[in-house]
Structure formats: structure tokens, C-alpha cells
Structure 1
Amino acid sequence: MNQLLEYQPLNLYTNYKDAANATPEVPIIHDEILPAFPELGTNYTYKESHEAILKRAYQLASLGVKAEDKIIIFKSSKFDTYLLAVAASYLGAVPAMISYHFPAETIEVFVDRLEDPFILFDEETQTKITAVKNSSPEKQISVTRLLEASTTEVPQTELPKDMIAYMTHTSGTTGIPKLICHSANSMGWRTKWQKTIFTKIAEKKLVGFHISPVHSRFNIGISSLMAMGFPMMPLSVSASDSVAAMLLENQPIALETHPNNFVQWTSLAKNHPEAFASVRYYHSTFDAINNATMASFLKASAKNDPIFLQVYGQSECGPMILKAHTVESLKTSDARDMGVGLAGLTEARIADKEGNVLPAMTDGHIQFLSKGRAITYYKEDERFQATVFGPWWDSGDYGYIDENGHLFLKDRQVDLIEKIDSNLAIEDHLLDALDFLQEVIIVRAKDNSPQPILAVDPKQGMNWEAWWEQVADLPRLNEPIIMAWEDIPRTATMKVQRLQIEKMLKEQ
């Protein structure tokens, strides 16, 4: 086990191959067939998936993909998104993991930045790729075309350890996302952090998760689980009935998802706690989650001493500060207490805007020290360097550290209510993406948490599945309140009276 926790750089393909060789029969379970790996079905082993990945790598090579080529992976949000990235890394190509949410205009910006990369897409994203005007048609590879390509063997190519090997992106809720660049060395430190956390799981039992496969968190979690030989259950469908069926049938010991998916599943945890009875370890991905939501899931567990691990981090730095919650500790827990760093790997400090360290109990900029910090933003290094203070990274968040070394988060860049421009950008983003919505307003609830108010097109009705899918990797939002469009208070010029809505909420 100690050898496992020694630092080693992360090559996506090499890590997968080593795991498949070490623990070939460990299962991977799904709720849906993977479009790019139909032959695997919904229940297969590390070894079987490794063989399929090799085949896809050879097929990518036959379509012209080679070492150092950039390849945008822009497809439906399923586990094969990651398996395709592993296949690309076998060739020494650089996968850019792009969320299927983005419109063609955003993809065109990425195509420019990445200088006409390959684009791998499927039926879900096909119409958007058709609308992309600046990409070479021969570099656009549909999953259908990939599956029909030749499988002539080619050898593995490994990139130098400090070279860009993988790209993810920022959320893009306030404009065009930045492309975050990772190397084998930077990712290696993150997997060391992650594996250290996974050693706390008492038994090597099934780990279930519903996380966006393009999230910077995803690769680190999968690589670490596989290196340690854990069975995995990556879920594609977030609908509560599907989740309940998968959890009841397969009984995972651990479960991770985005904060908004935990909000989505809260009524399931309250009304059908048996679905979560087997779960002893919960984990929320990289964002604030409120105490009441965590308590609902801890109470649903039938295990002794279940734990909800809250991790505060950023895509640029990886997971940073952690705090473990229990049913008991939540009763007195301050929701703004993020916890502490992981000794020797991550820590936080408070500084002024020039980077001068401030004493305990003093508000200031939260800065992170992470050996797993990303290398740069692709083609936007000035923006990246603007937040670098030597080995420290300015998170853009504000808070203080108490005398016990606990980090308290006071005001967050992504805290919608604090930053009205970001708030409006998210409202626009949701209105653009979901055609059944006539209005989206995000206001402060009684406890200052972000409360969406929705007006729904009466001809279409509310599509809850589409809503939860769209908000999954946004900052945590409360469950929406639906109002008739004509009942939303407005000014004479039809502007929404947000304060009036907040007043109504406080009176309820």
C-alpha cells in the first residue's frame, strides 16, 4: 500500500494498462450501453475494457491521429468519453475534454485556440459540429466512423512528463471557458492526494459516481480507483428512479456526485432511504453543499458511522481542503468551515491582493499551494500567471484561517448571490439551454442560499431531467420554485423585482 502512495506521474493509458494487468477481473458496471464501446455492454472487467481501448486507439491512428495532436472529445456525457481519452493518450495525442452543453460558437473558439484539432463527436453533438465553420471536415470523427475504421496495430507513444497531456475547461458560466492544461507530472500529484483519501475506505467494494466525465475531477478519481483495484459504477443517468434501481441492485459502499445532483436526489434519500442503505462514504465534487442536504444522505445510510466528505478545490489546483462530516458533527458544524489541507500535499493561506500573508482570523484572498497545479490556460498564459504568486495560486475566493488552521470561506467567486453579473450569466445560460423555460431568476433564500425561481412554458411543462442535467456542474442551487409567468412581480418596465421575490420567500 505504501508503494502505491509513492508519487508517480500519471499517463492515462499506462495507468489503465497497469490496472488491467494487476486486477484484470475487477468489474465496471453501467446504467447504459456506451455509444463508442457497444461491445462492452453494461457489465465488464478492467481487462475487457483495456482490450477495447487498444482497438479504439488503433482506429484513431488509422484516421490520422498521432502523437502531440490535439483532439477535442465532445460527446454525450458517458463513461466512454473518458475511455476515448485513454485511447488518445495511447497515441500520445492530447485529449481536450469538452462538455456537450457548449454551443457551436464556443467550439469554434476552441478550434481556433487549438489550431484546427481533431474533433471526436457522437449523435448527441452532431448538429453542433455540423454548425462549426472553421474545422477541417476530415478531422471531424464521428463515433460511427471510428467504429468502422481499420484496427492495424501501432505502438504506444508517451509524451514527456512535463508536456501538456490533457486539457479540461473552466465552467464558462461567465464567458468563453479557459482551457486548463495538465501534464503527467501535475496529474500525478493529484492522484497521490486522491489515493491517500481512498485508503480511508475500509473495504475494497463498489464505488458509485455520477460526475461529468469532462470535469478535471473525473480523470483523477478514475485513475486512482483503478490503480487501487476498486470496482466502479459510473452512472450516466441522473433521474432518481434510475439511480435508485442501480444503487439497490449493486449496493455501492461509496457514492460521489455534483452538489446539484445531491439536491436532486434529496427527496429520494428522504422517501426511499433504502436506496442509500449500503453507502458509508459520500463525496461531493468541488463545491459548497449545505448541511441539511448532507444530513439527509447520512441519515439514509444503514452503515455504522457514515461519513460525508466535503472537498473544496478548483480545477486549476485539484482537490485542496477537506472536512469529514457525520450526522452528529453536522448539528454544530459551521457551513463556512471548509476544513484543512492534506498534510504535505495541499494547504491554504490568506493573503492581501499583493500576496502578503495575513495573520489568523484576518479576512483576505484564499491562496492555494498544490503540487498538482495545472500548467497554464492554453493560449491564455497571461490570464493564468495573473493569479500565480510563486508556488501559490490565488483562488479568487475570500475568507480567513482560524487559530486551529481551519479555512473559512466567506465569499466565493462562484457564489451567485454575491456576484450579480455571474448570477445573470447563469440565468441567461439556463434560458438559452432549456427551451421549456420562460424565465429564470436566481435570488437569495432565507439562508442566503441561491434559490432559482422558474416560469415554465405551459405548452411544454417542466422537464426536471433536463433541468438537473443542465445544472449538474454549476455551483449548487436550491431545488427550483415554479411560478406562473404572470405571478412574478415586475416593475412598470417589466424588470423582475428580485427584492420583492426575496421578501415573499422570507415570509413563507
Structure 2
Amino acid sequence: MNGFTIWRSIRRRGLFLGTVPETAAARKSSTPLTLDHDLDVLPEAGRRLTVSELADHVDDLAGRLWSAGIRPGRHIAIYKAANFDVWVLATAAARIGAVPVMLSPALDGATVGALLRRLDQPALLTDLHKLDALADVPVMDLADPVITVSGDRPGAVSLAGLAGAPRVEPVSRPKDEPALITHTSGTTGLPKLVVHTPRSMAARLKPQWWLLSLMRKRETVAIHISFVHSRMFAAMALALLKELPVLLMKESDPDKVAAFFVEYRPGFIEALPNSLMEWECLTEDPRKPFASVKYFSSTFDAIHPRTMSRLVDSSERRGALYFQIYGQSEVGPAVGRAYVRKSAHRADGRCVGWAMPGCAKVRVVSRDGSRPSETNPGFIEVAWEGLAKTYLAEQDRYDANRFGDWWRTGDVGYRTRRGCLHMLDREVDMIPGVRSALEVEDVLLSRLEELSELVVVRGRKSEAVPVICTHDDRPVDQGRWRKAVADFPQLADPIQIPQAELPRTATLKVQRVALARRFGEQPTSN
């Protein structure tokens, strides 16, 4: 099938995750995938695969899961160490019609136990290390069967012991039935389980399917995002079906990342915004790890202009650009915009872009009866086929954010006369007297290069407290700080902490509510 035929089939049937590798292999079996780590479930597979070999591994593991008792429609929670085999195993489960439930390895045992209870006796696919982390959780009562990727544990089934199991025919899920479950960040409590369908997952491919179609040649794509996030499944489907060579990255250490990029020279990088921020130091690396990159892309969070500018400037490709997409787990990619070398340094970090033709619709709704504006931001809402179906076992919470066809994102902002969406803050993070905490962060990060991270949170008395981190945890120069914040008198004195102490989600977002709670219990000066 050619690209148009594949896209037409996906739009008609929905995205069937279980046959993505097989479909890609039928188009070009030799497309390479390169990993910076070994697969826990298939350590003998090595770090260099063709898409044909990937498809065979998925088929093999699907047969093993079937032999372990997994059947169509069954929830199978996947909770194991971060590794690309998380995607491989989920795809294998989807191939036999099961519904993979992706649980971040960053979740603690108590949270996983609560989610297993919500799933009501799912299967659990895990590893021995995570089983140890669940020592205080009655796993064998909450999940059946319990399956390990390797190694033996009483009461559990080992996938390694099922090698050579008979292959089985793929089983499709109905277009509007659950096909994948991910979870929210859990910044305000127990994570919500977000239900995706073949229809919603197919719709989410459209914005970047057409963007990738604009590339004049096939580029090697480096992917560094959470293996359990819904975006990982979209990114892999796009790369494989577009026959693009893929670099799959678990490593985030800048020096190791630089060596990997120098060896394989990607032309396209999709990474978490905070990973790209961590890699800013590589823009001055004499090895020039970003020299080959023409396209940088990120979702999840709006990214700071300083980071975009440095990355694009470090490319030696003509026409290099940064494409930012704004969205969330429940809505997928909603709006986006591109920044080029000449404009990235002047970017307004709060401008997250425009709705893409034929994709999501976006509106801003008043919070107080007055027209939304820059000084009176409204609720950002999104409508299209890409909306998640529900929150598993929490329909009331889902319905509270659904207004007919529209989903309320929880963010507040406004639209300019040209229609550009500006996202100012999460509603729960708004601080009295501060137009946008995110905007303050953008400005100060551009003024103080020694800062590696800055998060403005609400303090004990509702004041704006800047929590700062520096490169190598060096003390901040108080004179430089006072000069930089002179036009932000609403800011309290800064609190400096080691960057390693920032509470983060699986996608490396800072957990602002947790940070605010921490510093709301003590004086706001250091």
C-alpha cells in the first residue's frame, strides 16, 4: 500500500496498534530502528533492528501473551522499568485484541495498587524489580494473571518460559471501543485513566501526518518521550508508516545523548520539552550534536523561547525549524506553530499556535461572563474526533469537563486578533496579581543563563514564589537576580533547590501543586 492508501484505511478503520509494525514491514522491511539500550524482554534482539524484525518480535510476544491467557477485550496493565519494550509489549497485547493499560514506572506501589483496583482484576505485565516495589500491595489478589517479562516469581507466569508459543491471528478492536489506556500526571491526586479508541488515535495522527508529508526527503527521527504516553504510540505509528529510520532513546544524560546523535545524525528530533531544556548545554558542544537536525518538535508543555532559539541556532541545516504542539492526554495535538532561526529568539512563549486545518477546533470560553482577553483569560476548550472516550470508572469526572462536543482542558488563555492561542497558566496554578507564571518564567530564563529551571508557584500567603535551579547547583548571584526581576515586583524572594529535588511527572513536567505545597509550609525566603 502507498502512503495515501494507508492513511485512507486508518481513517476508515481507526488506528489498530497491533498491526502497525506488520503494515510498515510490508511497505519497506529494511527500515532501521536503533536503540540506545537493550530490550528487557528480548535482550538477544540487540540494539539494531529492521522493521521486519520488529514486526516478528511483536507477533512472537503476542503469541506468548495468548498462551499466558490474555484474550480480546482484557485489560493488561503494563508496569515495568522504562524501556522501549514497553511499546513492543503493548503493541503485542493490542495485536490479540487486549487493551494495554500503560502505567508509568515512576508511579509508586500504593498508586499502582489503587489503579489496579480501579481496573478490576486486570492482567499485570511487570518485571521482578517492580514486583519488589509492589511488596506491600496484594498483587496476586488484584491482578490475574501476573506475568513477568523475564525471571521467575511464585504465582507469576514468565514470558521467557513461553518462548516458541504458537503464533495467533491479529484481532481488531471496534472503532469506538477502548483500545489503549494511559493515565494523567496525577499532579492533583490519583492519576485518571484515560481511554483511547481506534477512532481517537487515528484522528491524532492527522496533524503530523501532513507535516511529515512536507519533508523533501526521509529523515532519521530521534524519539525521546515517555514510553508509556499516548504520544509515544502516535509518534511510532507515524515514523513506521512513513518508513522513517528511528532512533529510540531512553538515555537523557547530555554527554551520552551527544555521542548518540553524533554517531547517527538525526534530521528530526521529538523530545520532551524538559529534556530539550536539559540538552541546551549541547548547543555549545564542539561535537555539534544538533548540526544535522532540521526539525525539532515537542508536545506536552509549551517550551521556553530560550531553549527553542538555542536549538535552532545550533543546527547547520538550511531552513531549520522548531515545531511546537500544544495539547494534552485527553485531547491529543490541538494547536501548533513553527519557529525558524530568525524568529525563535523573539518568540512569545505563551503563543502556542493555531488550530491546524481539518484537525482540532479550539475556543476560549469566559470564566466570569466577560469576554476573554489578555487581562481576563478564559477557559481553553477543544473539540474533534481525537478526544479521549472517557476516564475509566470515573465517568462523572470526565463529564465534568465535557460540554457537548467540547473538552475543557484546565488551561486558561486568550486568542489574538489573528487567532493565535495564548496559553497563560493552568487554572489551578494561577496566582493573584500575576498575569502568567509561565510568562514570568520565560522572561527570567532568557535573562539569566545560569538558571537551568525556574518555576513560579503560589506561596503560603498566595504570593508568587520563584523556585530556582542552576547549572551544577551553583549559588545564584543575588545582584543579577534583583536586576532581572526589577519589573516583577510581585515576586517573593527566590528559593533555590537542587534540580534533582524538583517533583516531576513521567513526562518530566514539574509537579507545580506538589512544589507549592512544599513551600507553602515554610517562609518564602531562603
Query: Same fold by TM-score, threshold 0.5 exceeded?
Result: yes
Alignment CA distance shift 1:360-1:273 (3 Å): farther
Corresponding letter in the other structure for 1:376: T
Q: Are residues 1:10 and 2:15 paired?
A: yes
Alignment CA distance shift 1:318-1:414 (3 Å): farther
Q: Are residues 1:140 and 2:146 paired?
A: yes
Note the aligned Cα RMSD (angstroms). 3.0
Gaps of 5+ in 2: 151-157, 430-454, 467-480, 513-517
Task: Indicate the residue corresponding to 1:47 in structure 2.
Answer: 52
Q: State the shift of 1:333 in Å.
A: 2.0
Which of residues 369, 386, 391 is equivalent to 1:372?
386
> Partners of 1:450 and 1:407 in 2: how far apart?
31
Q: State the shift of 1:472 in Å.
A: 6.0
Task: Tell me if structure 2 keeps the 8 A contact 1:323–1:338.
Answer: yes
> Partners of 1:153 and 1:328 in 2: how far apart?
54
Mapping of 1:227-266 within 5 angstroms? Answer: 227-266=241-280
Runs of at least 4 residues off by over 3 Å: 1-6, 134-138, 356-362, 413-421, 443-452, 466-472
Task: Tell me if structure 2 keeps the 8 A contact 1:312–1:322.
Answer: yes
Task: Tell me if structure 2 keeps the 8 A contact 1:264–1:468.
Answer: no
Q: Deviations over 1:268-327 (max 9, x none)?
A: 222346111111110122201111111111111111121111111011000111011112
Q: State the shift of 1:75 in Å.
A: 1.0
Task: Tell me if structure 1 keeps the 8 A contact 2:21–2:54.
Answer: no
Corresponding letter in the other structure for 1:473: T
Q: Are residues 1:348 and 2:387 paired?
A: no
Task: Indicate the residue corresponding to 1:106 in structure 2.
Answer: 111
Corresponding letter in the other structure for 2:268: A
Q: Are residues 1:454 and 2:460 paired?
A: no
Paired residue secondary structure (2:348): coil
Which of residues 18, 30, 33 is equivalent to 1:28?
33
Alignment CA distance shift 1:467-1:238 (3 Å): farther
Q: State the shift of 1:252 in Å.
A: 0.4
Task: Indicate the residue corresponding to 2:515 in structure 1.
Answer: none
> Partners of 2:495 and 2:345 in 1: how far apart?
26
Q: State the shift of 1:107 in Å.
A: 1.0
Q: Are residues 1:64 and 2:69 paired?
A: yes
Q: State the shift of 1:360 in Å.
A: 7.1
Paired residue secondary structure (1:191): helix
Which of residues 449, 453, 456 is equivalent to 1:417?
456
Q: State the shift of 1:453 in Å.
A: 2.8
Alignment CA distance shift 1:140-1:410 (3 Å): same
Task: Indicate the residue corresponding to 1:197 in structure 2.
Answer: 211
**Identity in percent:** 31
Corresponding letter in the other structure for 1:34: L
Corresponding letter in the other structure for 2:508: L
> Partners of 1:251 and 1:114 in 2: how far apart?
42
Alignment CA distance shift 1:377-1:314 (3 Å): same
Task: Indicate the residue corresponding to 2:508 in structure 1.
Answer: 474
Paired residue secondary structure (2:383): strand
Mapping of 1:149-188 within 5 angstroms? Answer: 149-150=162-163, 151-188=165-202
Paired residue secondary structure (1:132): coil
Mapping of 1:210-289 within 5 angstroms? Answer: 210-272=224-286, 274-289=288-303
Q: Are residues 1:312 and 2:326 paired?
A: yes
Q: State the shift of 1:64 in Å.
A: 0.9
Task: Indicate the residue corresponding to 1:482 in structure 2.
Answer: none
> Partners of 1:272 and 1:74 in 2: how far apart?
39
Deviates more, 1:390-399 or 1:80-89: 390-399
Task: Indicate the residue corresponding to 1:435 in structure 2.
Answer: none
> Partners of 1:451 and 1:16 in 2: how far apart?
50
Alignment CA distance shift 1:451-1:413 (3 Å): farther
Gaps of 5+ in 1: 428-442, 456-463, 479-489, 502-508
Paired residue secondary structure (1:214): coil
Q: State the shift of 1:449 in Å.
A: 13
TM-score, normalised to structure 2, is 0.81
Alignment CA distance shift 1:5-1:154 (3 Å): closer
Task: Tell me if structure 1 keeps the 8 A contact 2:184–2:329.
Answer: yes
Which of residues 338, 361, 365 is equivalent to 2:352?
338
Task: Indicate the residue corresponding to 1:484 in structure 2.
Answer: none
Paired residue secondary structure (1:265): helix
Corresponding letter in the other structure for 1:43: R
Deviates more, 1:247-256 or 1:145-154: 145-154
Corresponding letter in the other structure for 2:310: S
Paired residue secondary structure (2:410): strand
Q: Are residues 1:383 and 2:397 paired?
A: yes
> Partners of 1:475 and 1:95 in 2: how far apart?
24
Paired residue secondary structure (1:396): strand
Corresponding letter in the other structure for 2:335: I
Alignment CA distance shift 1:407-1:168 (3 Å): same
Task: Tell me if structure 2 keeps the 8 A contact 1:10–1:184.
Answer: yes
Task: Indicate the residue corresponding to 2:79 in structure 1.
Answer: 74
Alignment CA distance shift 1:471-1:378 (3 Å): closer
Alignment CA distance shift 1:166-1:420 (3 Å): farther
> Partners of 2:130 and 2:299 in 1: how far apart?
25
Alignment CA distance shift 1:192-1:124 (3 Å): farther
Alignment CA distance shift 1:131-1:267 (3 Å): same
Task: Tell me if structure 2 keeps the 8 A contact 1:5–1:196.
Answer: no
Corresponding letter in the other structure for 2:122: P
TM-score, normalised to structure 1, is 0.83
Aligned pair count reads 458
Q: Deviations over 1:73-95 (max 9, x none)?
A: 11111111001001001111100
Q: Are residues 1:406 and 2:411 paired?
A: no
Q: State the shift of 1:328 in Å.
A: 1.2
Q: Are residues 1:290 and 2:304 paired?
A: yes
Paired residue secondary structure (2:334): strand
Alignment CA distance shift 1:316-1:452 (3 Å): farther
